[in-house]
Structure 1
Amino acid sequence: MATVELRFSALPEHVRTARLVAAAVARRAGVDEAVLDEVRLAVGEACSRAVGLHASNGIAAPVRVLLIEDEKKFSIEVGDEVPGAAGPAGAHAAEGAEGAPEPEGEDEMGLAVISGLVDDVEVTSGEGGGVIRMSWPTAPAAVLP
């Protein structure tokens, strides 16, 4: 299992780099070329969401992206440092925060877009922050007769 870890300052201009790196690693892992646009878009949404959460909560920590190559699938984990903000339950946990209603709507929209792009997606949250895990199947290595 090969893993690439990417950490970047929670700034919108770094999301493009994360998308490009994710697509390159996905291609190398054997993800079908027809799916690479979905990988790029999903990673862009997840990273933009994490950047927005960091900005709206005043968190200076970097956004974490793990690109994991397994034997039969390629997975991406995008993590933020906002306690309890990753899942739908996390959106309710932030209700008391000043200015929370607007980011909640954007947050739910971003999660809906990701869910529409990725069949295998899991959103979790905890005291240490949230993680969006996405995975795609990889093509088996060609076997010559």
Structure 2
Amino acid sequence: MAATVELRFSAQPEHVRTARLVAAAVARRAGVDEAVLDEVRLAVGEACSRAVGLHRSYGITAPVKVVLSEEEKTFSIEVGDEVPAAGSAGRGPNAAPGGRNSMAEDLDADSDDEMGLAVISGLVDDVEVTSTEDGGVIRMSWPTTPVTLLP
């Protein structure tokens, strides 16, 4: 039986901690190995921080979306933002109110983004990053072991 928890929060850094805590609790319940829970927390924190940063940089007021899914032998987390893929719909950092103004700031943001994705890739064996005109999604998954209830 697949179980899904969906979390939406405003793009504020203080909400990232809550997303990490919820992800760890749901992962534990799904049967993710205790030794891996710190990696789950760190990866979710990094992905959510990235989404929050993108929303704030681009002036997007929509919430960050986190979907936690438990399937037969897998626990997955999708962290979604609503920032269109580069070049889509003519959006860019300078299109946002209060957006970055210089190319140097754009390069710094790109470097931070690359670093965040590298950290996630180092923490999670099964990670997929997609980006469309509707936004981006980082999908991460971990194996689960069935939880045995004692009689």
Give the structure-2-normalised TM-score: 0.85
| 5+ long unaligned stretches in structure 2 | 96-100
Superposed CA deviations along residues 41-83 of structure 1, whole A, max 9, x for unmatched, are 0000000000000011010100000000001000000000000
| Cα distance in 2 between the residues matched to 1:64 and 1:81 | 9
Q: Larger radius of gyration, structure 1 or 2? A: 2
| Cα distance in 2 between the residues matched to 1:130 and 1:52 | 13
SS in 2 for 1:66: strand
- Structure 1: which 4+ aligned runs deviate by more than 3 Å? 93-99, 141-144
CA 1:143–1:18 in 2, change beyond 3 Å: closer, same or farther? closer
1:116 aligns with 2:122: yes
CA contact (8 A) 2:84 2:135 kept: yes
The counterpart of 1:131, out of the listed 134, 137, 151, is 137
- Quick one: which amino acid aligns to residue 132 of structure 1? I
SS in 2 for 1:71: coil
| 5+ long unaligned stretches in structure 1 | none
Identity of aligned residues (%): 77
CA contact (8 A) 1:94 1:100 kept: no
| Cα distance in 1 between the residues matched to 2:149 and 2:15 | 39
Following TM superposition, by how much is the alpha carbon of 1:100 offset from its aligned partner in structure 2, in angstroms? 1.8
- Quick one: which amino acid aligns to residue 44 of structure 2? V
Correspondence for 1:14: 15
Correspondence for 1:101: 107
- Quick one: which amino acid aligns to residue 61 of structure 1? A
| Cα distance in 2 between the residues matched to 1:73 and 1:94 | 36
1:40 aligns with 2:41: yes
CA contact (8 A) 1:46 1:132 kept: yes
Question: What number of residue pairs does the alignment pair up?
Answer: 139
CA 1:24–1:141 in 2, change beyond 3 Å: closer, same or farther? closer
| Cα distance in 1 between the residues matched to 2:83 and 2:127 | 19
- Quick one: which amino acid aligns to residue 10 of structure 1? A
Superposed CA deviations along residues 68-119 of structure 1, whole A, max 9, x for unmatched, are 000100000000000016xxx99xx958874421211110000000000000
SS in 2 for 1:61: coil
CA contact (8 A) 2:58 2:93 kept: no
Q: Give the RMSD, CA atoms, in angstroms.
A: 2.3
1:64 aligns with 2:70: no
